[in-house]
Structure 1
Amino acid sequence: MTRPGRSVKLQQNLYKAGEQTVTAQRPPFGVLLVNLGTPKAPTTAAVREYLAEFLWDKRVVDVPRPLWWLILHGIILRFRPRRVAKAYASVWTDEGSPLMAISRRQQQALAAALKEQYGCDIPVTLAMTYGEPSMEQAGRELRAAGVSRMLVLPLYPQFSSSTTAAVYDRLATGLKGCPHLPETRWVNEYHVHPQYIKALADSVREYRARHGTGDKLLLSFHGIPQRYEDRGDPYPSQCRATAAAVASELGLSEEQWLCSFQSRFGREEWVKPYTDYTLEAWGKAGLGRVDVISPAFAADCLETLEELDVENRELFLRSGGKDYHYIPCLNDRPDHIGLLASLVREHSTGWE
C-alpha cells in the first residue's frame, strides 16, 4: 500500500521529469530576422499591393491620414506601380526578388553558423515588415519549434524610426492575438560594430584588388526627410559614423571618400548631400573613377541594383565621369554571417 503523501510526491517527480524532457527538447531561444519587404512579383498589380502597405505606414510617411489617403490612392498608386514594376523586372532573378533570395540565404547560413556555435539547432525565421513572409507566419514557425524566447534582429545596421521602429510596431501588431507572449530581446543597431566595419572595409579591399581603385569612394545610404533628423531620428548621424569608421579602417584621407544619401521621395528637403547630385557634380568635374558602396543595406535590392548600379551609373557617365564601379552589399558573405552570429551571441547572454 502506498504511504500517504507518496502519490503526491510521485506525481511531482513525474511532472519535473516531464518538464525536464520538454525543456531538453526545446531550443534555448529563436531568432527572428527582419527586412523591409518586396513585391511578390515584378508586376504592376503586385507592386501596387506592396506599395499600398509600405507607404501607408505612418513611420514611413507621416502626412495626416485623410490627406495622405487621397494622395496615395488618388495619385501615387495610379501611376508609380507601373514604373516601379519595370524597375523590379530589370533585377528579378530565377529565384525571385533579389532581396528575398539573399535574405533566405542569410537565414540558412545564420542557422548553420548558430548550430556550430551553440552545438544545437537554434531556429532562425525570416519576416518582412511589409508583404510576406509576415510577422505572423514567422511567429507561427517559432512557436512550432518550441521557442519561448525570441531575439529580434532587424537587418538595419543604423537605427531609424522609419525602419527599425517600424519593425517594433509591426511585431506588436502581430503579437496582439498571441495567447502567450515570448520573452523578447532586440538588436537595435550595429552601425559601428567592429565586425560590421571590418566586413565593409574588406569588401572594398577585395573588390579593388580585383578591379583596381577609384579616385573616390562614395558611401551612399538610403535617405530620410531632414525634418526626421531635426526631431531626433539618429539615423543620419549613425550613417555618417559608419562611413567615417569604414574610411578610417581603409586608411582613406578626407579627399578620398564622401557620405551621401539616396532614394528621395516627394518634394521636401531630405538629409544631404544627395547621392545623385554628388555624382552629377563629380561627373561634370571630370572625375576619372568612382567606387560606390551602400552600407545601410544588408542585402542587394532594387535601391542598389537598379537605382545605384544602373540609374546613378548612367547619370555619372552622362555628366562626364569616366568609370563607375558599384561594390555589392555584404549579402551572405561569410564575414557578414559571422557578424550576425556575433550579434546573436552578444544579445542572447543568459539564454544559452
Structure 2
Amino acid sequence: IIVLPLYPQYSSSTTGAVFDAFANALKEERGLVPFDFIHSYHVDENYINALANSIKVRLKSDEFLLFSYHGIPLRYEKMGDYYRKHCKQTTIAVVNKLGLTENQWGMTFQSRFGREEWLQPYTDKFLQNAAPQGIHKIAVICPGFSVDCLETIEEIDKENRENFLKNGGQSYQYIPALNVEHAHIEMMGK
C-alpha cells in the first residue's frame, strides 16, 4: 500500500491528519500489510518541473508571479509545524527553475478564518496593496492545491481577482492547479 496525501507541503493539519486516520484504521488490522506513507513531495524534482512547466506556458513576461498557499494558524508554527518552510522551499525551487529575479515573484497565504493570527503575508491584503506598490499585472498560482477547488476557483480566481482589479490592478491571471496537467499524473506515478 502506498499512502499519498495530495498535500505537497507537510502540515500537521493536513498530511498529519491523514496519517492519524490511516494509523487509526490500522489498529483494527491483525495482518498488517507493508505500506509506504509519503510524508511530502514539496521539492520532488517531478513536482517542481510540473509546476515550472505549467507556469512557463502561461506567465507573461510583464506579470508578477504570486505563489499563494493555504494558510494555517500561526500557533501551529509556534508548536513546531514546518509548513511555511516547505512552502518557501517549493517556491524557491520553482523560482530557480524559472530563473526569476527577486522582484518578479512573491509568496502569500490565503483562506484564513476566525480571529487568531495566521501565517502572513495574507494573499488578499497583498493583492489589495499590489498596484500602489507598482505591481499592475499579476499571475497567481496555488502550489499547495493538487486540484482546483472552492478555495482556488472562488477565493483566488474570483474574489481576489476583483480585489486586485478594483484596487488599481490592470490584469490578473489565475494559473490552474496541476489537475489539468498530464505531467501531474505522471509525477504521481513516479
TM-score, length-scaled by structure 1: 0.52
Structure-1 separation of matches of 2:112 and 2:61: 28
Structure-2 separation of matches of 1:275 and 1:295: 14
- In structure 1, the residue matched to 2:162 is 314
State the 1:334 CA deviation. Answer: 1.8
Please, which of 59, 64, 67 is the counterpart of residue 219 of structure 1? Answer: 67
Counterpart of 2:176, as a letter, is: P
8 Å contact kept, 1:285–1:320: no
The total of aligned residue pairs comes to 190
State the 1:333 CA deviation. Answer: 1.7
Structure-2 separation of matches of 1:291 and 1:332: 17
1:202 matches 2:48: no
- In structure 1, the residue matched to 2:80 is 232
The structure with the larger Rg is 1
State the 1:169 CA deviation. Answer: 1.2
Structure-2 separation of matches of 1:306 and 1:182: 41
State the 1:227 CA deviation. Answer: 1.4
Structure-2 separation of matches of 1:296 and 1:179: 35
State the 1:171 CA deviation. Answer: 1.6
SS at match of 1:166: helix
- In structure 1, the residue matched to 2:122 is 274
1:192 matches 2:40: no
**Which whole-Å deviations, capped at 9, do the CAs of 1:38-92 have from their partners, x for residues lacking one?**
xxxxxxxxxxxxxxxxxxxxxxxxxxxxxxxxxxxxxxxxxxxxxxxxxxxxxxx
Structure-1 separation of matches of 2:161 and 2:180: 24
- In structure 2, the residue matched to 1:154 is 5
1:289 matches 2:137: yes
Structure scoring higher RCO (CA < 8 A, sep ≥ 6) equals: 2
SS at match of 1:326: strand
State the 1:179 CA deviation. Answer: 4.0
Structure-1 separation of matches of 2:62 and 2:22: 42
CA RMSD of aligned residues (A): 1.3
- In structure 2, the residue matched to 1:298 is 146
Structure-1 separation of matches of 2:8 and 2:15: 9
- Which segments of 5 or more consecutive residues in structure 1 lack a partner in the other structure? 1-149, 343-352
- In structure 1, the residue matched to 2:89 is 241
Please, which of 237, 249, 257 is the counterpart of residue 105 of structure 2? Answer: 257
- In structure 2, the residue matched to 1:141 is none
- In structure 2, the residue matched to 1:166 is 17
Counterpart of 1:336, as a letter, is: H
Counterpart of 1:242, as a letter, is: T
Structure-2 separation of matches of 1:279 and 1:185: 40
- Percent sequence identity is 50
Structure-1 separation of matches of 2:108 and 2:43: 17
TM-score, length-scaled by structure 2: 0.95
Structure with the higher helix share, 1 or 2: 1
8 Å contact kept, 1:223–1:261: yes
- Which segments of 5 or more consecutive residues in structure 2 lack a partner in the other structure? none
Counterpart of 1:293, as a letter, is: I
Please, which of 27, 31, 43 is the counterpart of residue 180 of structure 1? Answer: 31
Structure-1 separation of matches of 2:174 and 2:69: 13
